[in-house]
Amino acid sequence: MEHNLEGMTIPKHVALILDGNGRWAKKRGLPRSMGHKEGCVTVEKTVEIAARMGIEYLTVYGFSTENWKRSEEEVGALMQLFRFYMVRLLKVASANNIRVRMIGDRTRFAQDIIDGIHRLERETRDNTGLTFVIAVNYGGRDEITRAVCRLAADCVKGRQNAADITQEVLESYLDTAGMPDPDLLIRTSGEIRLSNYLLWQLAYTEIYVTDCLWPDFNREELEKAILAYNKRDRRYGGVKA
């Protein structure tokens, strides 16, 4: 493991809201799409840093169910970047033993993107290092609604019994089924809100917000977040002994 976090607990699952690409570009008089492009470079670097630190799951918010509200031009630029980085990611993931998983409703994407997502997941499935989770066309409310729809359909088919539904059963229908909940949520660019991210999973996650704009995020910023995480007292509703 390579980091300056001697003796620190490394969170098993880190969730990221990578915000501020637009502001980063604006500050430089560049189009928003340039901010997204630079943001993708930062994502790639962060995945490698996280893997080397020993983080087991890294979940990044790449595109929300609400981001379709943006201009056609911006959405189009994001889709193009997505296409390009899916190919690159296949190489990065293979070279670093990274398993890639996508959460969110992929059915709204163009067919070539859907095929690319399947390929990435299939070809990295047996990798045993970091699990890199990308939330695309993801919304926490949408995820819970889709889960409940499938669960209700299974009840109708007699595969589930409505009276026996527990939190574990509902969880098994979420896109994140089988994954531990995030220990630490990092949001860049200063906004203190969840923006519909992992609403179920973040129930007891420690939240860290930095003013750093996403394209400027680096190893030092990640280390600062982990140091802050180590100072937190996670009580889960209990009382400190």
The binding site for ligand IPE (CB under 6 A) comprises: 17-23, 61-64, 67, 78, 189, 191, 193, 195
Q: How far is the CB of 2 from ligand IPE (least distance, A)?
A: 27
Rounded-to-integer distance, Cα 106 and Cα 83, Å: 13
What's the min distance (Å) between Cβ of 42 and ligand IPE?
Answer: 11
Contact set with Mg ion (CB under 5 A): 19
Rounded to 10°, the helix 72-95/32-53 angle is 20
Active site residue 67: yes
Cβ atoms 21, 213 nearer than 8 A: yes
10 Å Cβ neighbour count for 8? 14
Nearest to 48 by CA among 237, 222, 235: 222
* Least gap, CB of 238 to ligand IPE (angstroms): 31
For residue 118, the partner it binds in ligand IPE, Mg ion, none, with Cβ less than 5 to 8 A by kind, is none
CB distance 217 to 188 below 8 Å: yes
**Could you confirm whether 230 is annotated as catalytic?**
no
Q: Which residue's CB is nearer to ligand IPE, number 150 or number 193? A: 193
The partner residues of 14 in beta bridges, in order of sequence, read: 58, 184
Instruction: Give me the catalytic one of 19, 142, 175, 183.
Output: 19
Catalytic residue among 4, 21, 67, 137: 67
Catalytic residues: 19, 67
